[in-house]
């Protein structure tokens, strides 16, 4: 069996690649290294790697023909709400057009795939009051990022139903763990916090810290992705999360304890387009056999050990 992972040198992608290799799959990675790093992939010598942009349509089509993957995991993305507000056209071309083009090519050429998995985001739920978010909760995408993720989900599911393609979508909540790049102001907050604690840099807190997120350790995310693949599920959406709500203030406090050091915090106004509260109902995933193995404390301790 062969798997193609777009964004496979990125934070979540590289963990997935290592897992797929350990499960005995042949793995092909496409990554333009804009946020990713080949060193993130432990099993580099066992993987076929193409340093390319998923927006290069010709290249992607040739790759699909030559490699004929059974499983496609579309993780390549500009994974930032704030970045999508700064550069909506560019993020759209990655977060939606590249995925659409691949689907269209699979449809036109009847490429025989076993699963096409698209990675969407909890951002699609927006700020509606219903909590925890279930996969069939109402959505309210507030940013270009969230809109692209939701619209692309709909394409992926509709292509699945209309053209009988084995497609599935997942909505990542806030994923953290080793390999998350802290170098951009748009990086995930836990990678930035780790960098600040480690290097005694000031941390900029946007808003009052009461915003909540559902932080999930990357190993649990990989567990979930693999369960979905093994279940041969089609035309469904799954939340991937821990199922617990924590405010940014609680995160900071917990991480300071774990690290045994205190953080210098600079206050700044809240970011536009942001979600105020986020937490998932993970019942659907649990039905597939998912169990969260990493509490926030355990995940932060493990992350800090390796930092
Ligand atoms: C994150 C993911 C996004 C995913 C979504 C799912 C990243 C970069 N983004 O977006 O891909 O789809 O979760 O819910 O991982 N913050 C600060 N200071 C900082 C950085 C962030 O206060 O230096 C705050 C933000 O304003 C926000 C919270 O921390 O309120 C989390 O921010 P971030 O890690 O960027 O994640 P989301 O915007 O939730």
Q: 266 with 149: CB under 8 angstroms?
A: no
Q: Give residues with Cβ within 8 angstroms of 209, minimum separation 6.
A: 247, 248, 249, 252
Note if 186 is an active site residue: no
The per-residue pLDDT for range 256-307, each reduced to its tens digit, is 999 999 999 999 999 988 889 999 999 999 999 999 999 999 999 999 998 8
Mutate to test the pocket of ligand 1, among 77, 213, 216, 250 (most ligand atoms within 8 A of CB): 213
pLDDT band at 45 (very low <50, low <70, confident <90, very high): very high
* Exposure b/e, 264-289, CB count within 10 A at least 16 = b: eeeeeeeeebbbebbbbbbebbeebe
Residue pair 27/46 in contact (Cβ under 8 Å)? The answer is: yes
In angstroms, what is the span from residue 107 Cα to ligand 1's centroid? 34
Phi, psi for 47 (deg, rounded to 5): -120, 145
The answer to whether the CB of 271 is under 6 A from ligand 1 is yes
* Nearest Cα to Cα of residue 112 among 69, 155, 74, 75: 69
CA distances from 282 to 225, 242, 275 (A): 13, 7, 19
Q: Which ligand 1 atom is nearest residue 187's CA?
A: 8
- Reported as a pLDDT band with limits 50, 70 and 90, residue 19 is very high
242 and 173 Cβ atoms separated by less than 8 Å:
yes
185, pLDDT greater than 80: no
Q: How confident is residue 181, by pLDDT bands cut at 50, 70 and 90?
A: confident
Distance 188 CA to ligand 1 centre (A): 5
Q: Which of 163, 178, 79 is nearest to 119 (CA)?
A: 79
Tens digit of pLDDT for each residue in 119-178?
A: 999 999 999 999 999 999 999 999 999 999 999 999 999 999 999 999 999 999 999 999
Looking at ligand 1, which residue's alpha carbon is closest to its atom 38? 81
Which positions ≥6 away from 87 have C-beta within 8 Å? 78
CA torsion through residues 215, 176, 138, 106, sign: negative
> Which pLDDT score is estimated for 186?
81
CATH topology of domain 2-175+218-240: Rossmann fold (3.40.50)
Q: List the domain boundaries for the chain.
A: 2-175+218-240, 176-213+244-278+293-306
**Choosing from 71, 145, 186, 303, which is the catalytic residue?**
145
Q: Give the model's pLDDT for residue 306.
A: 87
Q: How far apart are CA 200 and CA 179, in angstroms?
A: 20
Tell me the pLDDT band of 253, cut-offs 50, 70 and 90. very high
Q: Is the CB of 211 under 6 A from ligand 1?
A: yes
Q: 305 exposed, middle or buried (CB, 10 Å; 0-12, 13-18, 19+)?
A: exposed
What six digits make up the tokens of 106?
């699979």
Local structure of residue 125 (DSSP, 8 states): G
Pocket lining: 187 vs ligand 1, CB cutoff 6 Å: yes
Superfamily name and number for 176-213+244-278+293-306: UDP-galactose 4-epimerase, domain 1 (3.90.25.10)
């Amino acid at each position: 069996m062969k798997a193609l992972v777009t964004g496979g040198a990125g934070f979540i992608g590289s963990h997935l690649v290592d897992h797929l290799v350990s499960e005995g799959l042949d793995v092909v990675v496409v990554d333009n290294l804009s946020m990713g790093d080949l060193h993130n992939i432990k099993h580099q010598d066992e993987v076929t790697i193409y340093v390319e942009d998923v927006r290069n349509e010709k290249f992607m089509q040739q790759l699909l023909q030559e490699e004929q993957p059974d499983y496609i995991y579309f993780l390549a993305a500009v994974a930032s709400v704030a970045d999508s507000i700064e550069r909506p056209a560019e993020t759209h071309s990655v977060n939606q057009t590249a995925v659409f083009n691949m689907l269209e090519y699979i449809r036109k050429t009847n490429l025989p795939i076993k699963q096409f998995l698209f990675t969407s985001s909890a951002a699609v739920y927006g700020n509606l009051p219903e909590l925890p978010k279930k996969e069939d909760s109402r959505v309210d995408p507030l940013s270009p990022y969230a809109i692209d993720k939701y619209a692309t989900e709909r394409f992926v599911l509709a292509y699945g139903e209309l053209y009988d393609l084995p497609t599935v979508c997942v909505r990542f909540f806030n994923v953290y763990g080793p390999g998350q790049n802290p170098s951009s102001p748009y990086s995930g907050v836990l990678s930035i916090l780790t960098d600040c604690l480690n290097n005694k840099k000031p941390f900029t807190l946007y808003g009052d810290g009461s915003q909540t997120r559902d932080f999930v350790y990357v190993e649990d995310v990989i567990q979930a992705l693999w369960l979905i693949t093994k279940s041969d599920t089609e035309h469904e959406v799954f939340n991937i999360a821990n199922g617990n709500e924590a405010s940014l203030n609680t995160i900071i406090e917990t991480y300071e304890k774990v690290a045994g050091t205190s953080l210098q915090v600079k206050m700044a106004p809240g970011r536009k387009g942001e979600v105020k509260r986020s937490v998932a109902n993970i019942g659907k995933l649990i039905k597939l056999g998912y169990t969260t193995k990493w509490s926030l404390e355990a995940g932060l301790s493990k992350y800090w050990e390796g930092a």
